[in-house]
Amino acid sequence: MDRQKLIMLPGPTNVSERVMRAMLNPIINHRGDEFRDLYKGVLDKTKRFFQTQGEVVILSSSGTGGVEAAVWNLIRPGDVAVVPVFGEFSMRLAETVELAGGKVVRVASDFGKIPTIDQLKLAMEQQEKVKALFLVHNETSTGVAVPYVEEATKIARDHGAFVVIDAISSLGGYAIPVDRWGVDMCITGSQKCVAAPPGLALLSVSERVAEYLKDSPPKTRYFDLPRYLEYGAKGQTPFTPALPLYYALDEALEELLEEGLEKRVERHNRMSVGIYDGLAKLGLGAVAEKSVRSKTVVASYYPQGVDDSKFRKELAQDKGVVIAGGFGPFAGKVFRVGCMGQINEAYVETTLRAIGETLTAFGN
């Protein structure tokens, strides 16, 4: 078996031994009392994480499944949705809305930047009726985070639109108070800042969305959110859950709440500053403009002449540190470092030292 590497990806990320051990709990009847107790406990912790008194749904899927669930539950053919597009994942989100039959109003910017709040506001105003705003909070492909989620939510709700926030790679590294900000659906994944294994998507569902779905049920079976809400009230899921992952999520959320959400957010902020500063000392420039740099995903340009795949392979095999490459137009030009979940000073120091030594070995 290979030695355990330091996983500095933008997800999945490092998982504590405590959380890993939780998956060794015995298999139980997912229609029985034991699962009911487990599930209700997980839902309660998830609500505290989202800062909501509303409903939450946990899907045995990746974060992309959570996004797809949000889109197919809200969008009907011909509905207009506003989607800021400034990276790979926001582009995918816009395409998902179109697959559901929606009409997408893209508010685009160059990758590495974000559309301005004024551009977003104008896009809302120019439409007769907008069904929903779908906003990626943290664009994992470019290391860019949107700083105006609360303001964007207010603008959308002023136009009667639902607000869906893709916070898959950010919630927990950032606080998004769902109820206070008026977010209708917020989505995250177990394998990011929650620091659990991959395979679960977590969604908050506002009362406004729940009421809408009563009169307009979605045309999807596995992602039928009203069905999840109905079963959730009984402490069950409509379909067989990924049971070991529920044990792990329960323990990871317990770790998060023991630390405190505010302290976890502060730790992510502090560690990201350390990574950005350390990379700058190595002469490496960030993809994102400073005002919109992500606290959870750091995207950095390579020095000229460095081969991406060879660099990352050497880093993983020789130094035991695993990072990610770039997407789309950034493929081969950029590497990405995850700053999430269990991130601490030792992880940051190890990663920066490994990157520096590997660059030196590559003649930089």
Confidence (pLDDT) at 328: 84
Structural domains of the chain in order of their starting residue, each with its CATH number: 6-12+260-361 (3.90.1150.10), 17-258 (3.40.640.10)
34: which 2 tokens? 């034991």
Give helix 261-281 / helix 243-259 axis angle, nearest 10°: 90
- C-alpha to C-alpha distance for 360 and 316, rounded to whole angstroms: 15
HSE (side-chain half, CA atoms, 13 Å) at 291: 6
- C-alpha to C-alpha distance for 133 and 189, rounded to whole angstroms: 20
Question: Which regions of the chain are under pLDDT 70?
Answer: 1-3, 364
Read off the pLDDT of residues 204-254 as tens digits, 9 standing for 90 and up: 999 999 999 999 999 999 999 999 999 999 999 999 999 999 999 999 999
- C-alpha to C-alpha distance for 146 and 32, rounded to whole angstroms: 42
If DSSP codes are grouped into helix, strand and coil, which group holds residue 72? helix
Q: What is the DSSP letter of 260?
A: -
**Residue of 172, 336, 349 whose CA lies nearest to 271:** 349
Type of residue found at 43: L
256: which 2 tokens? 């998060």
26: which 2 tokens? 């015995």
**Residue of 340, 319, 355, 267 whose CA lies nearest to 9:** 340
**Residue of 272, 241, 276 whose CA lies nearest to 169:** 272
103 forms bridges with which residues in the sheet?
80
**Residue of 96, 118, 120 whose CA lies nearest to 107:** 120
Question: 109, exposed or middle or buried, with CB in 10 Å at 0-12, 13-18, 19+?
Answer: middle
- C-alpha to C-alpha distance for 9 and 299, rounded to whole angstroms: 11
**In angstroms, what CA-CA distances link 304 with 285, 332, 362?**
12, 11, 11
Instruction: Please measure the distance between the N-terminal and C-terminal CA atoms of the chain and give it in whole angstroms.
Output: 32
Confidence (pLDDT) at 327: 85
Give helix 63-74 / helix 207-215 axis angle, nearest 10°: 60
**What dihedral do alpha carbons 316, 334, 360, 358 form, nearest 10°?**
0
pTM score, whole prediction: 0.96
72, 219 contact by CB (below 8 A): yes
142: which 2 tokens? 């470019």
Confidence (pLDDT) at 2: 58
Question: 4, exposed or middle or buried, with CB in 10 Å at 0-12, 13-18, 19+?
Answer: exposed
Read off the pLDDT of residues 130-169 as tens digits, 9 standing for 90 and up: 999 999 999 999 999 999 999 999 999 999 999 999 999 9
Confidence (pLDDT) at 293: 97
Confidence (pLDDT) at 1: 42
